[in-house]
Amino acid sequence: MKRVRILIVDDSAFARKVVREILQSEQTEVVGAARDAYEGLELAASLNPDLIISDLAMPGLDGIQFIRRQMATRPIPILVLSAASEASTEVFTALNSGAVDVVHKPSGLSNDRLREIKLDLLEKIMIIMRVSPVNTSRTPEEVSSSGRLAKDRRVDLVAIGISTGGPQALRRMIPLFPKDFPAPIAIVLHMPVGYTALYAEQLNEICALEVKEAADGDLLDPGVVLLAQAGRHLTVERTSRGSVVAKLSVHPIDKLHRPSVDVLFRSAADIYGARTLGVVMTGMGDDGKEGAGCIKASGGTILTEAQESCVIYGMPRSVVEASLSDSAVPLDSMAQTIINLT
């Protein structure tokens, strides 16, 4: 098994030393350690690591600015290792800027916490790299979708799956929907536990639609956007009165992601059938491919985000290459395309 090549970006010499020591293993290899964000950008360009571990509090260019610049230059999975509280606005902003996950760094990296940090770091690294960006050397034309859109089909639910680059993409797309949008929207966004409620609140402030973190029993009504709660799968269920409500569960437990796009899409296909519009957007890995197959099998429609606007063209590519995409749509055209189809 190829070892994961890691770049450390931290202004603390002690932190760089400790993290380097605990990550030298059969699974991981530290290929560089930067003293600040500027050096981090240089080393990322020259070393081409598989993953970056970055602090947030650094002099000059801070960790959030580093994440934004790196993701704009060449997207690489970035894992935040910070002493900031896990519920801090700073950490949330880092995730909103493109970081994949966060590990809390104890004060001083005390010896009694080293083993705990090591296990947490390795676990998150392995999860991130299991869904690492797929090869994007092929051109969009080679994997282009067929463009088969059934515009006369009724849409009763828009189900969206999105991961790396998702917070930024949704902030650009969801505010474009009008208040009278005629279908509910359910979203699975891969995000660490504890941040989806805050993200939904911030998104709600800039949208005409009502955006909220999903709760058990929430009605799927037109004009409502339900964001799956991190750590729990989101499914939909029809009640005895005929309405459709949201259900949250930790099951199935065998999915790499919780919430999982596949789980939401499968549930949507079961309830809405051909009236389901599934949308797979920027993200690593292939979560959503299996669920897109369920939607297609039930007669529904699948849109994928076009390669040129994706931060990571992984999830959409997996759907396109499985011949499940009806059309590939750039981010800035996605909202209008969905509106046209509904």
Secondary structure of the chain in HEC code, one letter for each residue: CCCEEEEEECCCHHHHHHHHHHHCCCCEEEEEEECCHHHHHHHHHHHCCCEEEECCCCCCCCHHHHHHHHHHHCCCCEEEEECCCCCCHHHHHHHHCCCCEEEECCHHHCHHHHHHHHHHHHHHHHHHHHCCCCCCCCCHHHHCCCCCCCCCCCCCEEEEEECCCHHHHHHHHHHHCCCCCCCCEEEEECCCCCCHHHHHHHHHHCCCCEEEECCCCCECCCCEEEECCCCCEEEEEECCCCCEEEEEECCCCCCCCCCCHHHHHHHHHHHHHHHEEEEECCECCCCCHHHHHHHHHCCCEEEEECHHHCCCECHHHHHHHCCCCCEEECHHHHHHHHHHHC
Q: Using CA atoms, how far apart are residues 70 and 56, in angstroms rounded to an integer?
A: 14
**Structure tokens that stand for 269 in this block:** 């296909």
Q: Which residue has the tokens 């059934």?
A: 150
The CATH number of the domain holding residue 321 is 3.40.50.180
**302 and 174 in one domain?**
yes
**172 and 66 in one domain?**
no
On the question of pLDDT at 75 being above 60, the answer is: yes
In a domain, 16, yes or no: yes
Structural domain total, the chain: 2
**188 and 326 in one domain?**
yes
**155 and 87 in one domain?**
no
On the question of pLDDT at 133 being above 60, the answer is: no
**179 and 159 in one domain?**
yes
Q: Up-side HSE of residue 189: CA atoms within 13 Å toward CB? A: 32
Q: What is the arithmetic mean of pLDDT over 68-74?
A: 92
In a domain, 279, yes or no: yes
Check 10, 62, 218, 287 and give the catalytic one: 287
pTM above 0.85, yes or no: no
On the question of pLDDT at 145 being above 60, the answer is: no
Q: 81, 109, 130 — which closes off a domain? A: 130
**152 and 242 in one domain?**
yes
Give the distance from CA 29 to its chain's centroid.
25
Q: Using CA atoms, how far apart are residues 84 and 90, in angstroms rounded to an integer?
A: 7
Where is average pLDDT lowest: 98-107, 193-202, 272-281?
98-107
Q: What is the arithmetic mean of pLDDT over 15-20?
A: 90
**275 and 154 in one domain?**
yes
Q: Using CA atoms, how far apart are residues 66 and 42, in angstroms rounded to an integer?
A: 11
Is 190 noted as a catalytic residue in this protein? yes
Q: Are 161 and 288 in contact (CB under 8 A)?
A: yes
Q: 130, 159, 182 — which closes off a domain? A: 130
**78 and 154 in one domain?**
no
Q: Using CA atoms, how far apart are residues 176 and 173, in angstroms rounded to an integer?
A: 6
Q: What is the pLDDT of residues 281-298, one digit of tens each?
A: 998 889 999 999 999 999
In a domain, 136, yes or no: no
Q: What is the arithmetic mean of pLDDT over 323-335?
A: 96
**Structure tokens that stand for 209 in this block:** 């639609």
Is 85 noted as a catalytic residue in this protein? no
* Position 283, amino acid: G
Q: How far are the Cα atoms of 57, 108, 131 from residue 25, in angstroms, in the given order? A: 27, 22, 20
- Tell me what pLDDT residue 134 has: 39
Q: What is the pLDDT of residues 212-269, one digit of tens each?
A: 999 999 999 999 999 999 999 999 999 999 999 999 999 988 888 899 999 999 999 9
CB atoms within 10 A of CB 44: 23
**284 and 164 in one domain?**
yes
In a domain, 244, yes or no: yes
Where is average pLDDT lowest: 30-39, 111-120, 281-290?
111-120
Q: Using CA atoms, how far apart are residues 177 and 209, in angstroms rounded to an integer?
A: 7
**205 and 121 in one domain?**
no
Residues with Cβ within 8 Å of residue 113, at least 6 apart in sequence: 106
On the question of pLDDT at 277 being above 60, the answer is: yes
In a domain, 135, yes or no: no
On the question of pLDDT at 151 being above 80, the answer is: no
The band of 128, judged by pLDDT with boundaries at 50, 70 and 90, is confident
In a domain, 10, yes or no: yes
- Tell me what pLDDT residue 86 has: 56
Is 251 noted as a catalytic residue in this protein? no
Check 190, 233, 260, 309 and give the catalytic one: 190
On the question of pLDDT at 21 being above 70, the answer is: yes
The band of 20, judged by pLDDT with boundaries at 50, 70 and 90, is very high
The CATH number of the domain holding residue 107 is 3.40.50.2300
What domain range is 116 assigned to?
Answer: 4-130
Check 163, 267, 309, 325 and give the catalytic one: 163
On the question of pLDDT at 136 being above 50, the answer is: no
Q: Which percentage of the chain shows pLDDT scores above 70?
A: 89
**88 and 118 in one domain?**
yes
Q: Are 275 and 158 in contact (CB under 8 A)?
A: no
Q: 130, 161, 184 — which closes off a domain? A: 130
In a domain, 11, yes or no: yes
**166 and 249 in one domain?**
yes
In a domain, 39, yes or no: yes
